[in-house]
Amino acid sequence: MVSEKAITKKDVEHVALLARLALTEEEKERFTKQLGKILEHAGKIKEIDTSKVPPTSHIVPLDNVFREDKAGECLSQEEALSNAPEKEEGAFLVPKIV
Amino acid sequence: MIFPPPLREGGLRGRVDYIPKESYEAVIGLEIHVELNTESKMFCACPVSFGEKPNTQVCPVCLGHPGVLPVLNGKAVEYATLIGLSLNCEVTEFCQFHRKNYFYPDMPKDYQISQYDLPLCVEGYLEVGEEKGVSRIRITRVHMEEDTGKLIHIGGSGRIHGADYSLVDFNRAGVPLIEIVSEPDIRSPEEARMFMQKLRSIILTLGVSDCNMEEGSMRCDANVSIRPVGQKEFGTKTEVKNINSFRSVQRALQHELDRHIDTIDSGDRVVQETRHWDDAGGVTTSLRSKEEAHDYRYFPEPDLVPLISDKPKVERMKKALPELPDARRVRLMEQYGLPKHDANVISLSKATGDFFEEVMETYEDARKVSNWILVELGALLNQANLEIDECAVTPRHLIDLLKLMDKGTISGKMAKDIFKESFDTGKLSSVIVEDKGLVQLTDEDAIGKIVEQVLAENPKAIEDYKGGQERVVGFLVGQVMRLTQGKASPDAVNRLLKSKLNNK
Amino acid sequence: MELFNQPAHELKRMMDTGEISAFEIAKSVFKRIEMVEPKVEAYVTLTEGQAAAQAKEADAKIKKGEGRGSLFGIPLAIKDNMCTKGVLTTCSSGILKNFIPVYDGTVVRKVSDAGLIMTGKTNLDEFAMGSSTETSFFGTTRNPWDLETVPGGSSGGSAAAVAAGEAIMALGSDTGGSIRQPAALCGVVGLKPTYGLVSRYGLVAFASSLDQIGPITKDVTDCALLLQAIAGQDERDSTSVDINIPDYNKALVADVKGMKIGLLKEMMGEGIQDEVKTAIKNAVDVFSKMGAEIIEVSLPHAEYALSAYYLIAPAEASSNLARYDGVRYGHRTSEKVKDMIDMYMKTRAEGFGNEVKRRIMLGTYALSAGYYEAYYGQAQKIRTLIVQDFEKAFDKVDAILSPTSPTTAFKIGEKFENPLQMYLSDICTIPVNLAGLPGISIPCGLSDGLPIGLQIIGKPFDEMTVLRTAYAFEQAYGFKERPKLD
């Protein structure tokens, strides 16, 4: 179900939430306009009948690539946490979830 | 086909044999996650191990650092295939990983590598309820994904609600996880429990997971709805999450079904939502979710190439599957002449079946063995809340005990006490018998003397006996046993007492 | 003769004869950096101390008869989207401005094993999203040929560094033209290898199904040498292909006699600057004169490539960039937050720049429920059609020519406010990424003192033909100009 309508500010707000981006009012307006333009241009691809064309998600002719089930080296706890914005007792600290 | 992951929620009531009000029928579908016991994680070489210090079983890959790439653990695919095959599934020819996109702090990349419309296995089934009539529960799919890290909530008594903040440990992140999805074919909480037990038994037989619900290596989410009997359409469903013990599968589902019925009976509507089972409170609760409707934006994982089924290999794996519980049940009945119930219970747990068969290698009387395992050992295990392979009693202990009984060294009564002690201490029966001098008294002269003594001390009893009161024999036997500290052979005591009484 | 202006193979020759040392080369390069970096701003991070120590070490090894590799002791600049253990790796983004990797990417390890000496990390468009380096959190890199113009992007820092003599050679990454377009605009050589030839492990992902690392060098010979050092299957990258890596040196033959070379019809028309067209036509003549057969080829679906790319790449990016969430590394908002979602939203709003936000939004939208089939799904099918177009074209020819960029370097700020206009900069390079093919850009002229790039496209894993064609042109055409920065 594809909406032929241009992207709305409400769409932009919804997408921003999905993408976890806090947008200012000005950004919302701007993105609504810019994404509309880009999508209008991109919408060009809908012109082609591709009902018999398979999608390409991987360009390399590869399948069944496996790793051997062998345990290797880990990082030390200190290394693992070395870039952490906030940490406590060997763990990453995050704000309350709900 | 989209299977949104459950959130959190809970419910209570716990009448185990509750039958939904006749007019309603339960409709239950299960989504079960099982952690595989591979040596290394799904997409990196970190070990799969539990109980380590937080964030020590991690590397750039499973921490989702910039620039890292996943590489698939071949063993995990093999294990997942085994599970699919043992559930009578078809292994798909072309299988692909997808990214499931959503933000959550226990997910390092903020997407989960999972499977979507091209899972590893599809269209299988599992049969349950051998005793009361078999139900075939269809399996929709078996797919692979990666596990998340763990959150510890600080403040607010450790619960997500009311916590001040949370800590994230990524040791579990990236552990291979199998998701098994059933069709909504389950019609009662009891059937759900049986399904879980059978599934666990199969996976334990395959040896590809520990299937420990309490430790989280097996997890169950359920889609629950009710409908009037005879109606084809499904009612509004809720998803129950956080069911984390076998005991709570039935309780949680019964509670949720009751809640649905109560809701409808009181004229309300069931709200489609995810609910969190609170085991302590015995209730399901709704997590007020301010999050938007789920939109996982699945797309093919560009970092992992497709899996093309190796048909000859799959055929070989299928042929090489170990004996699964259903086949074992049939064999136990045929080979050992076990009654259906015994064979069923013994085959339902791989460990119990193995225990039984190990005893049978050196002991003949199958009924006796099954009786001891199911009744005596079963009771002790229940009390101690242990699994058969977790307790101190081994097949050797049981063989030892049964042989002592057969030789008449100990009586049945003594055997039960000794077995309890074996269970508590891990000592062999023969050792306990010897340590305590618990050998059964079978010397008829010795017993005869004590019988004489008892008769001499109880002239009234002899009179009563002669007067036709046979009951006094029991009393006299008791007296003999008391004087011999229970060691006298009950057979000998009975025989000697009767003959001496009759000769008086 | 300044060492910093020499290609690696020439420096290597001089080292072999004992004329110069690795330390002297490094010194020359860092002196040059000191002089021109304030004007060019090619680097985000310089690693001078480490480089000097490594150069001395290299000299000691050379003295002992070790370190005979063809690039041993050569200074190399690395685009700042490749993870370098212990060295800041920012992707030119505010969200990673403090990020220090705990591991080396595979290519980083390979160049280090080959004895190359890292001079520093070069500037790029934030997360490689852009065609001008203007979207960098650290500011715009300048084109050494004209400081008022952009160096192209996203590997603008690497291309400018090589052009300005601030590095002997450099690594870039190319998702839609990010090696070739800046190479063209800066008058240097840039190769995007076949997808799967070079490991992506350690390359911070932009669009995973399109990204490749490749060389940016002063000439084709250096390009072959650096490609040799980085190519090859990697067990850490499932999409890297296990093929025999040829000796790329053997491709350096100035002979295209009898070769069939295609000229891409669709990229010689509207939207291509006249001077660029003229330069390409001249290049075609050069090949003709050398005895190559020139055949016009067509990509009927090329007109849809840009649209497909601007759905596929942002979609993958929206997922790849989700991990910058303020939990494990990178920027976290210092504002008070209500809860987790609030933290995510503020952190990401503060940490990402405009272009990145725009593409995350676009990609999220293209993948979201109800739009997947129309946008991402359809774009993947277009991708199939473009692959087929190329296959048909390569039935007739051995290599294909086109401009690399529709224009020469444009003025800083000229297209910054107009995303669509900016996206058109990659119109000639994008189809090559969609089809996963190898493509090189080499200088083929100047217009108003600004370089023009010729793109040569090859069959999958046929870097040999691409290099040979490029080498033949380079030898015949003899582009010797250097930017005048002094």
In the DSSP assignment, the letter for residue C374 is I
| Structural domain boundaries in chain A | 9-47
Question: Min CA distance, B288 vs chain A (Å)?
Answer: 9
- Collect contacts of C270-277 with beta carbons under 8 A, ≥24 apart: C271/C406, C271/C424, C271/C427, C272/C403, C272/C406, C272/C407, C272/C428, C273/C406, C273/C407, C273/C408, C273/C447, C275/C408, C275/C445, C275/C447, C275/C448, C275/C452, C276/C403, C276/C405, C276/C406, C276/C407, C276/C408, C276/C447, C276/C452, C277/C403
Point out the residues of C that are catalytic: 79, 154, 178
Could you tell me the pLDDT band of residue B17, with boundaries at 50, 70 and 90?
A: very low
pLDDT of amino acid B438? 65
**Å from B285 to nearest chain A CA?**
15
Cβ count within 10 A of residue C438: 27
Mean local confidence (pLDDT), A10-26: 94
Residue of C nearest to B162 (CA): C339
Chain A residues near residue C382 by CB distance under 8 angstroms: 45, 48, 50
Instruction: Note the pLDDT of residue B404.
Output: 74
> Could you tell me if B333 and B415 lie in one domain?
yes
pLDDT of residue B11: 33
Among chain C residues, the shortest Cα distance to B103 is held by: C322
* Contact yes or no for A57 and B96 at CB 8 A: yes
pLDDT at B463: 80
* Average pLDDT score over chain B: 84
Higher per-residue confidence, B390 vs A59: A59
Which residues, given as ranges, of chain C have pLDDT below 70?
none
pLDDT > 60? residue B16: no
Is the CA virtual torsion C350, C356, C361, C364 positive or negative?
A: negative
- Report the chain C residue with the minimal C-alpha distance to residue A61: C241
Distance (Å) from the C-alpha of residue A66 to the closest C-alpha of chain C? Answer: 8
Chain C positions touching B302 (Cβ under 8 A) are 207-209, 239, 316
- pLDDT digits over B439-452, tens only? 666 677 777 788 88
Q: Within the 2-61 window of chain A, which residues sit less than 8 Å (CB to CB) from chain C?
A: 2-3, 7, 11-12, 15-23, 27, 31, 34-35, 37-39, 41-46, 48, 50, 53-61
- Provide the b/e sequence for B75-112 (b: ≥16 CB within 10 Å): bbbbbbbbbbbbbebebbeebbbbbbbbbbbbbbbbbb
Nearest to C345 among A20, A44, A92 (CB): A20
Mean pLDDT lowest among B170-174, B306-310, B481-485: B481-485
Contact B297 C99 (CB under 8 A): no
Report CA-CA distances (Å) from C5 to C33, C324, C471: 12, 39, 19
Residue A80 has what pLDDT? 96
CB contact under 8 A, A79 and C102: yes
Number of domains in chain C: 1
Q: Is A98 on the interface with C (CB under 8 A)?
A: yes
**Residue C452 belongs to domain with CATH number:** 3.90.1300.10
- pLDDT (0 to 100) of residue B12: 33
Instruction: List CB contacts (< 8 A) between B105 and chain C.
Output: 325, 327, 340
Neighbours of C335 (CB within 10 A): 10
Interface A:C, Cβ pairs < 8 A: 173
Cα–Cα dist B164/B166, whole Å: 7
Q: Shortest Cα distance from B302 to chain C (angstroms)?
A: 5
The pLDDT value given to residue B31 = 95
Cβ distance C237 to B69 less than 8 Å, yes or no, reads yes
What domain range includes position B231?
Answer: 23-293
Question: What does the pLDDT average to over B108-133?
Answer: 90
Query: CB contacts < 8 Å between A and B, how many?
Result: 131
Percentage of chain B lying above the pLDDT 70 cut: 92
Sheet holding B150-154, edge to edge: A87-88, A91-95, B165-169, B150-154
Could you tell me if C196 lies within 8 Å of chain A, comparing CB atoms?
A: yes
Q: Torsions phi, psi of B466, nearest 5? A: -60, -30
pLDDT at residue C309, as a whole number: 95
Q: Does C208 touch chain B (CB under 8 A)?
A: yes
Does B434 reside within a domain? no
The C-alpha atoms of residue B209 and residue B82 are separated, in whole angstroms, by 11
Instruction: Say if C361 is an interface residue toward chain B (CB within 8 Å).
Output: no
pLDDT in tens, B78-116: 999 999 999 999 999 999 999 999 999 999 999 999 999
CATH number of the structural domain spanning residue B460: 1.10.10.410
Q: A1, A10, A66, A79: which to substitute to probe chain B, counting the most B Cβ within 10 Å? A: A66
**Nearest-CA distance B109 → chain A (Å):** 13
| Touching chains, B (3+ CB pairs < 8 A) | A, C
* Weakest-pLDDT range from A26-40, B290-304, B425-439, C294-308: B425-439
Task: Report the C-alpha gap between B378 and C165 in whole angstroms.
Answer: 81
Query: Where a domain ends, among B425, B458, B474?
Result: B425
Q: How many helices (H) and strands (E) does chain A have?
A: 3, 2
Q: What is the 3-state secondary structure (H, E, C) of B54-120?
A: CCCCCCCCCCCCCCCCCCCEHHHHHHHHHHHHHCCCEECCEECEEEEECCCCCCCCCEEEEECCCCC
- Number of folded domains that form chain B: 3
B437 found inside a domain: no
Tokens read off for A97: 């979830």
Taken as a whole, chain A contains a residue count of: 98
Secondary structure of residue B176 in the 3-state scheme = strand
Angle at which helix B189-206 crosses helix B325-336, to 10 degrees, equals 80
Q: Which two tokens stand for residue B3?
A: 């299977």
Q: Is A71 in the C-facing interface, judged by CB distances under 8 Å?
A: no
Judge whether A75 is closer than 8 Å to chain B, CB to CB. Answer: yes
Closest C-alpha among B226, B209, B195, B205 to residue B76: B209
Instruction: Indicate yes or no: CB of B307 within 8 angstroms of CB of A63.
Output: yes
- Range of C8's domain? 1-486
Segment B400-413 shows an average pLDDT of 74
Which residues from chain C sit within 8 angstroms of residue A85, using beta carbons?
A: 326-327, 329-332
The pLDDT, as a whole number, for residue B384 is 75
- In chain A, residues with a C-beta closer than 8 Å to the C-beta of B304 are 65
> Is B63's pLDDT higher than 80?
yes
* Average confidence (pLDDT) over B19-26: 70
pLDDT at B288: 61
Q: Does CATH number 1.10.20 belong to domain A9-47?
A: yes
Which residues, numbered 26 to 55 in chain A, qualify as contacts with chain B under a Cβ-Cβ cut-off of 8 Å?
Answer: none
Q: Look at A2 and C370 and tell me if their CB atoms are within 8 Å.
A: yes
| Chain A nearest-CA residue for B58 | A74
Please give the DSSP secondary-structure letter assigned to residue C127. G
| Contact yes or no for C151/C190 (Cβ under 8 A) | no
Q: Could B56 and A68 be called an inter-chain contact, meaning their C-beta atoms sit closer than 8 Å?
A: no
Same domain, B338 and B229: no
Indicate the pTM of the whole model: 0.88
Which residues 217-256 of C are in CB contact (within 8 Å) with B? 235-239
Hey, is the C-beta of C364 within 8 angstroms of any chain A C-beta? yes
Residue type at position B104:
Y
* pLDDT > 70? residue B15: no
Residue C83: which of B67, B101, B103 has the nearest Cβ? Answer: B67
Do B498 and B480 form a contact (C-beta atoms < 8 A)? Answer: no
Distance from CA of B313 to the nearest CA of A (A): 13
What is the C-alpha separation between B168 and B105, in angstroms, rounded? Answer: 7
B437 C-beta neighbours (distance < 10 Å), count: 8
Question: Smallest Cβ distance to C201: which of B68, B168, B295?
Answer: B68
- Do B305 and C83 count as a contact with CB atoms less than 8 A apart? no
Query: How close A44 gets to chain C, by Cα (Å)?
Result: 7
pLDDT at position A13 is 94
- In this structure, is residue B122 part of a structural domain? yes
Which pLDDT score, from 0 to 100, does residue B3 have?
37
Q: What is the pLDDT of residue B437?
A: 67
Give the per-residue SS3 of B14-53. CCCCCCCCCCEEEEEEEEEEEECCCCECCCCCCECCCCCC
Same domain flag for B207 and B336: no
Minimum-distance CB partner of A92 among B77, B163, B167 = B167
